[in-house]
Structure formats: C-alpha cells, structure tokens
C-alpha cells in the first residue's frame, strides 16, 4: 500500500501570528498519566526564520492540533539572546517524576530544559557547550538495568559529514547530568542536519541531509539492541547509510523536506513527521532572500523502513 501523506500545520492557514513565519522540528510527546498527547515544535513570525521559539499544543488521534491550547515554552530571548534561536526542539515525558524534558539547540549551545506536567519551567542546563549546530539533540533513555538513568543521544559532528553518538548520564537530574562523547556512528559526504533516532525496533537514525542538490531524508541503520551485549558496544558499530526517499512516496510539490521524527503517536500508526521547505526556490520581495516558510507534514510508513533489505 502506498504511503499516506498529509499536512499537520501549514503557517498560511494558521490564526496565530507567532507561527505565520514558519513551523518545524515536530516531535510527539505522550503524558501517560493524563492520557494526553502534545506536539512539540518550533515556530516563528520572523520571515527570515532566525528568531525561532519553542511551542507545545495538544494533538488528537486524528493529528488535529488544538491551537487553543498552544503554549510558548521557549521564547526566542531564552535562555539567552542569540542570533539564531531555539532552532530545533526534541522532547519526552518522565512518568516517574511527572516531568517533561525538552532539548533545544540555541545559539552556540545545546540545552536541556525540565518542565512540570503543566509545562511550567523547573530548570535547565547546557548539555553541550560550543555545539554550533541547528540539528537538535534527541535523547532516548535506555531503561535497562545496566544503564538506569542513562540516555543515548545522536547529533551531527565535526563538519556535519558524520553522525556521532553520545551517552547522557543521570538524565533525570540536572545537578548530576553529564554528556559523554562516544564517537562516530556513520559518515556520508553531505551536510547532516536536523536529526532523530530510535532504539526500538532497532537502533536507527533519521536525518535531514542538506546536499547541494536537494534537502532530503536519509537514514543510518544499526543493530537491534538485543543483538549487542552491552550498550557501549555501540561505540564499535558502524551504521549502514541509505536514502529514505524511495520508501516515502513524497513528490515535488513539497520542494524539499527535512526535520524527521519517527513515531507511532498518537494513533498507533508508524509515521514520519517532517517539515516541507516549499518556498526555498524563490526570492521574497520583503526579505530579498529565499522563502523560508516551513510546514509540518506526516507520511505514514511501514516496517520496511527498518529492514536493511529495503534499501537495495
């Protein structure tokens, strides 16, 4: 069956001024205590897309976003003034402490923020100083007894031609949290940018690749975590790189795509949320530069994206 592709948030149709410039880096977060789903994303009114802010809004199983419940959780001036702000957000819910954790790449650094269940800020910390990327910094707790309170993370490294692996120790305590650089996972001679990954059903990275020809989605395919003895064995694993595009069925009306996030939330169906950069091919009269109005879309996928044999 062909993939189903549909819009989630299109700025030109939204009644919210703060989002009319663009929306991007979508991420689904589930508050299991209240059985409530949230769409975490960036939005901006700035037509050049530099003053981005972090938002959350309730979303139902039909992927309808309730903008009456929209909350701005990361203003462009927070946690400090910067030229390029809160450009990629990723997040998760901690049921044990009834908290939300959000990571954001802001200015030169990558941050982690802790919010209570009503999205009131409790604290924050620099995760990686001098990060100098707008890729986001997704984290996935292992949950295993060998690594209680630890989380894996991925991000582009160096000149962004490679993807690196990180271990976040004591992820649930800002006072004890620290990040370890575990080295390179995979390499491809293009600009790896906004990124996401899974640890189930296997360790797999989804990434926007900004090549000179087109901004598209690629993947790095790793092992199932039950196929390795210890989590730090990932330091010695090289991931298979491949293009996701032939499996997605997207077409040229979207122009370019990026900002991938794999999830089964909120409807139980596997999907990739992504951003369309529809208007980058033309110059805007007001800014005298290319269009930068990002849109959030989703494409429903199947298990073939996790099968190495699907990539030829």
Could you tell me if 244 and 219 are in contact, meaning their C-beta atoms sit under 8 angstroms apart?
A: yes
Question: Cis omega (within 30 of 0) on the bond before 79?
Answer: yes
- What is the rounded CA–CA span in Å between residue 283 and residue 122? 42
CA distance 261 to 208: 10
Tens of pLDDT along the chain (312 residues) come to: 556 999 999 999 999 999 999 999 999 999 999 999 999 999 999 889 999 999 999 999 999 999 999 999 999 999 999 999 999 999 999 999 999 999 999 999 999 999 999 999 999 999 999 999 999 999 999 988 888 999 999 999 999 999 999 999 999 999 999 999 999 999 987 689 999 999 999 999 999 999 889 999 999 999 999 999 999 999 999 899 999 999 999 999 999 999 999 999 999 999 999 999 999 999 999 999 999 899 999 999 999 999 999 998
Query: Do 225 and 204 meet the contact criterion of CB atoms below 8 Å apart?
Result: no
Full set of structural domains in the chain with CATH: 5-311 (2.115.10.20)
Q: Which of 43, 51, 34 is nearest to 8 (CA)?
A: 43
HSE (side-chain half, CA atoms, 13 Å) at 24: 30
């Amino acid at each position: 069956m062909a993939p189903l592709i549909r819009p989630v948030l299109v700025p030109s149709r939204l009644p919210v001024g703060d989002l009319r410039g663009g929306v991007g880096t979508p991420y689904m977060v589930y508050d299991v205590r209240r059985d409530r789903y949230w769409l975490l994303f960036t939005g901006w009114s700035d037509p050049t897309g530099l003053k981005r802010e972090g938002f959350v809004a309730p979303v139902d199983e039909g992927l309808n976003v309730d903008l009456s419940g929209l909350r701005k959780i990361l203003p462009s001036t927070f946690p400090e003034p910067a030229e390029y702000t809160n450009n990629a957000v990723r997040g998760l819910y901690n049921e044990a402490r009834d908290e939300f954790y959000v990571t954001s790449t802001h200015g030169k650094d990558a941050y982690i923020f802790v919010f209570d269940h009503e999205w009131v800020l409790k604290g924050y910390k620099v995760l990686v100083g001098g990060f100098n990327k707008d890729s986001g910094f997704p984290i996935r707790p292992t949950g295993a007894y060998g690594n209680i309170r630890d989380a894996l993370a991925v991000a582009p490294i160096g000149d962004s031609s490679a993807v690196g692996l990180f271990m976040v120790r004591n992820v649930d305590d800002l006072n004890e949290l620290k990040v370890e650089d575990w080295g390179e996972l995979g390499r491809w001679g293009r600009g790896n940018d906004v990124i996401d990954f899974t640890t189930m059903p296997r360790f797999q990275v989804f990434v926007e690749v900004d090549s000179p020809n087109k901004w598209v989605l690629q993947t790095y395919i790793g092992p199932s975590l039950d196929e390795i003895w210890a989590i730090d064995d990932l330091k010695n694993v090289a991931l298979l790189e491949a293009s996701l595009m032939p499996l997605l069925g997207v077409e040229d009306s979207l122009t370019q795509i990026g900002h991938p996030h794999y999830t089964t939330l909120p409807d139980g169906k596997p999907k990739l949320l992504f951003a369309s950069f529809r208007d980058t091919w033309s110059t805007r009269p007001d800014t005298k530069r290319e269009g930068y109005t990002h849109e959030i879309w989703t494409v429903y996928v199947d298990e073939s994206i996790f099968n190495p044999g699907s990539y030829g």
